[in-house]
Each structure stands twice: as C-alpha cells, then as structure tokens.
C-alpha cells in the first residue's frame, strides 16, 4: 500500500467513525491566525501521514500540519482573519491551555458561544455546534487520529 493509499484509507476510516464531517481549520500565515470552514472533502488535500508516538502504539497518525501551499489553498476557500500571531502566542503563554485549545476558545467565542474545555470524543460530537451543524475545530499541528485508535474503535 502506498502512502497515498494509506492516507486515503485512514481518512475514510476516520470519516466512517466521525460524528461530523464539518471542520474549522486554523493556521498561521504571514504573522496572522486564520480560520476556515470546510467539509471532509478537503481532508485528502490538507492532512498528512506522520509517525504516531510510541506511547500511542507507533504506526501512523493523521495530522493537520499544513504547508504554505496548503495554507494558500485554505485561504482561497474563504479563510477569515482571527487575530495576529503575536496576540495568539501571548494568549497561549498567559493561559494554561495549548495552541489548539486557545484556537478552539477564540473560534467558539467569535461564534457568540461560551467555551469550556472538554474531552468529548470525535465519535460523539463536534467541538462547537452552530445553527444545528457540529464542527470539529483543528489548529495546525493537530493530530486527527492514529492507527491504534482507529483499530480500537472499529472493533
């Protein structure tokens, strides 16, 4: 199986298990932080295969770690400016939360909702629901899933 085949296989398996196929992707570009709403159709173009950590059983992981080319693609899909990279990084430093959690908080609050930290599995719900549509929120360097988790959930 080629890496492209493996990538598509893992994306398909993830989609079969996922509660939602709607996403808000976040990334930095030219000293700003952007967010774009997309569906799972974009996943093969913005996700990559990476080595899963040994604590997660090794193998492969699906990650959202966009290249500049992929960021330009996401910008062309209607990405909106969220804040400056400097503001974002300062907010992370001043909080107990990581980049992904701060991005999720900013997006949720920009959508007029109150953010609370949770650990709801991707199989059970999205990170935020707007007008009845659930969205998973992912910031650059986010792991979607690894092979071990897929195998466990598919049992």
* 19 within 8 A of 135, measured Cβ to Cβ: no
Cα–Cα nearest to 101, from 109, 92, 93, 110? 92
Residues in the chain, pLDDT under 50:
none
Predicted local distance difference test score (pLDDT) of residue 1: 67
Looking at the domain assignment, is residue 144 inside a domain?
yes
Q: 97: which DSSP letter? A: S
Domain that holds residue 142: 3-149
Count the domains in the chain. Answer: 1
φ, ψ at 126 (rounded to 5°): -85, -175
- Look at residue 154 and tell me if it is in a domain: no
Q: Which pLDDT value is given to residue 3? A: 87
Q: How many residues does the chain have?
A: 155
> Is 17 within a domain?
yes
């Amino acid at each position: 199986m080629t890496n492209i085949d493996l990538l598509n296989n893992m994306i398909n398996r993830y989609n079969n298990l996922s509660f939602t196929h709607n996403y808000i992707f976040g990334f930095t570009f030219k000293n700003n932080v952007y967010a774009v709403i997309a569906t799972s159709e974009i996943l093969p173009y913005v996700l990559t295969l990476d080595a899963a950590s040994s604590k997660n059983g090794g193998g492969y992981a699906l990650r959202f770690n966009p290249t500049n080319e992929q960021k330009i693609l996401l910008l062309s899909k209607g990405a909106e400016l969220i804040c400056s990279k400097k503001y974002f990084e300062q907010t992370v430093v001043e909080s107990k939360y990581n980049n992904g959690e701060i991005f999720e908080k900013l997006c949720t609050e920009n959508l007029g909702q109150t953010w609370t930290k949770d650990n709801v599995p991707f199989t059970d719900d999205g990170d935020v629901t707007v007008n009845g549509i659930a969205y998973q929120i992912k910031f650059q360097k986010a792991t979607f899933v690894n092979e071990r988790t897929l195998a466990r959930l598919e049992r």
